[in-house]
Amino acid sequence: MRVDLRSDTFTQPTPGMLAAMNSAVTGDDVFGEDPTVNALENKAASLFGMEAALYCPSGTMSNQIAIKAHTQPGDEVICDKTSHVYLYEGGGIAVNAGCQVKLLDGDYGRIKAAQVLEAINPDDVHKPVSRLVSLENTGNRGGGSCYELADIKAIREVCDKSNMSLHLDGARLFNALVATNEKPASYGAIFHSISICLNKGLGCPMGSILLGNKEFIKKARRIRKVFGGGLRQAGYMAATGIYALDNHVERLAEDHAHAKAVAAAIQKKSFCARLFPVSTNILIFETATPFTGAEVSKLFAGYDIHVIAMSPTQVRLVFHLDITPAMVDHILTSISKM
Ligand SMILES: *Cc1c(COP(=O)(O)O)cnc(C)c1O
């Protein structure tokens, strides 16, 4: 039995999702005439209580559009040192927005208002203008960590006092919402912009949604065109997003339960030195010497279980909708034999 835990991007569309694609009514979205794209954008905006939304080909593109829309070249973006926007978007903050970053040392990817306050540059010609704070929830490198809403509110207060915008890389925000039992609108009320991945645990083949106010989304739509992300009959893909929002959100709790069950088994093994706290669908652990991340991932591969060595001493497993209870049994049995 092959089990792919390398990422929650390895899902295949379900029969229901394929049927939704097949029956989608589409038009040219660059002309604003794709009813299914419009329906997805309206659905997402109203879910989060935000004014508008923009369907984008990828989460990277929606983050990059947001960063460019919030900033001017030469500005500074404040984020955690393990942020996806900094580590995994090809230097896009510099290339697309012409901005530099100030990195903070967060707790499993989560930064605090006091750290943000300390990081803001004074009004001094030597210094770049601190213009944007970007948070990540859940935190990928933080092992799927979730923010406390109160901590985010405190960061928003700091942003308001300093004329800064607050963006959320919510690639896995729905995992956080399910794990913490919070409502999308609570997030919509705090952030100036939110990007959400449909192509991760929600199980779509592609796509992301960027949320903000009308003026911001109008600007974002223009930037999306500049980036080459204006799509035509995108409704065939947007239909998967509508389907996922209707059918694949609550089931994320199963992925979280699977991650916790496997974490409990891994914790007992001699190759595991330390597990990151598991609160959602990502499980990261530090390997114990003499084991390297690569060696431990080979050990798993011996049972046809595929994981990623995130660093020389870290291994990551990600649970998603294509991981069945039978696969979890196979993982647990295999771990007991390792
Ligand atoms: C996957 C991911 C993204 C964007 O990914 P795409 O593959 O471009 O859709 C952004 N942020 C985080 C935290 C992610 O995990």
pLDDT digits (tens, 9 = 90+) for 8-50: 999 999 999 999 999 999 999 999 999 999 999 999 999 999 9
Which among 11, 82, 197, 319 is the best mutation to test ligand 1's pocket, defined by most ligand atoms within 8 Å of the CB? 197
- 98 backbone φψ class: left, alpha, beta (φ>0; ψ -120 to 50): left
Q: Please check whether residue 9 lies inside any domain of the structure.
A: no
Alpha helices by DSSP H, listed for 23-148, are 35-48, 59-70, 84-87, 92-97, 113-119
Alpha carbons 191 and 15: distance in angstroms, whole number:
35
> What pLDDT is recorded for position 179?
98
Q: Which atom of ligand 1 is nearest to the CA of 58?
A: 9
Can you tell me the mean pLDDT for 72-82? 98
Q: What is the pLDDT of residues 213-252, one digit of tens each?
A: 999 999 999 999 999 999 999 999 999 999 999 999 999 9
Ligand 1 center to residue 142 CA distance, Å? 14
Which among 7, 62, 140 is the best mutation to test ligand 1's pocket, defined by most ligand atoms within 8 Å of the CB? 140
**Domain count within the chain:** 2
CATH at residue 270: 3.90.1150.10
Q: Please check whether residue 4 lies inside any domain of the structure.
A: no
Are 157 and 133 in the same domain? yes
- Looking at every residue in the chain, the average pLDDT score rounds to 98
Are 119 and 165 in the same domain? yes
Q: Please check whether residue 1 lies inside any domain of the structure.
A: no
Give bridge partners of residue 100 from the DSSP assignment.
76
> What pLDDT is recorded for position 94?
98
Ligand 1 center to residue 283 CA distance, Å? 17
Ligand 1 center to residue 197 CA distance, Å? 7
Structure tokens at 189: 């009320």
Q: What is the pLDDT of residues 129-188, one digit of tens each?
A: 999 999 999 999 999 999 999 999 999 999 999 999 999 999 999 999 999 999 999 999
In a 10 Å sphere around its CB, with 0-12 CB exposed, 13-18 middle and 19+ buried, how is residue 62 labelled? Answer: buried
Q: Which atom of ligand 1 is nearest to the CA of 169?
A: 11
Strand, helix or coil at 52?
Answer: strand
Are 242 and 255 in the same domain? no
Which among 55, 64, 87, 88 is the best mutation to test ligand 1's pocket, defined by most ligand atoms within 8 Å of the CB? 88
Are 333 and 309 in the same domain? yes
| Domain finish residue from 203, 230, 247 | 247
**In the chain, % of residues over pLDDT 70:** 100
Are 255 and 243 in the same domain? no
Are 215 and 297 in the same domain? no
> What pLDDT is recorded for position 68?
98
> What pLDDT is recorded for position 209?
98
Q: Please check whether residue 47 lies inside any domain of the structure.
A: yes
| Domain finish residue from 247, 272, 290 | 247
The model's confidence at residue 324, banded by pLDDT at 50, 70 and 90, is very high
Are 322 and 243 in the same domain? no
Q: Please check whether residue 270 lies inside any domain of the structure.
A: yes
Are 26 and 121 in the same domain? yes
| Domain finish residue from 191, 225, 247 | 247
Ligand 1 center to residue 205 CA distance, Å? 13
Are 109 and 191 in the same domain? yes
| Ligand 1: residue whose CA is nearest its atom 5 | 59
The model's confidence at residue 62, banded by pLDDT at 50, 70 and 90, is very high
Strand, helix or coil at 239?
Answer: helix
Ligand 1 center to residue 125 CA distance, Å? 35
Task: Residue 310: count other Cβ atoms within 10 Å of its Cβ.
Answer: 16
Are 323 and 203 in the same domain? no
Are 233 and 256 in the same domain? no
Q: Please check whether residue 301 lies inside any domain of the structure.
A: yes
Which among 60, 63, 67 is the best mutation to test ligand 1's pocket, defined by most ligand atoms within 8 Å of the CB? 60
Q: What is the DSSP string of 136-189?
A: ESSBTTTTSB---HHHHHHHHHHHHHTT-EEEEEETTHHHHHHHHT--HHHHHT
- Site residues for ligand 1, CB cut-off 6 Å: 58-60, 63, 84, 136, 140, 169, 171, 197, 199-200, 208
Q: Which atom of ligand 1 is nearest to the CA of 200?
A: 1
Do the strands 52-56 and 76-80 form a parallel or antiparallel pair, or are they unpaired?
unpaired
> What pLDDT is recorded for position 69?
98
Ligand 1 center to residue 204 CA distance, Å? 13
Are 205 and 259 in the same domain? no
CATH at residue 35: 3.40.640.10
Alpha carbons 215 and 55: distance in angstroms, whole number:
16
Q: Which domain holds residue 101?
A: 15-247
Ligand 1 center to residue 112 CA distance, Å? 22
Q: Please check whether residue 10 lies inside any domain of the structure.
A: no
Q: Please check whether residue 6 lies inside any domain of the structure.
A: no
Give bridge partners of residue 79 from the DSSP assignment.
103, 134
Single pTM value for the model: 0.97
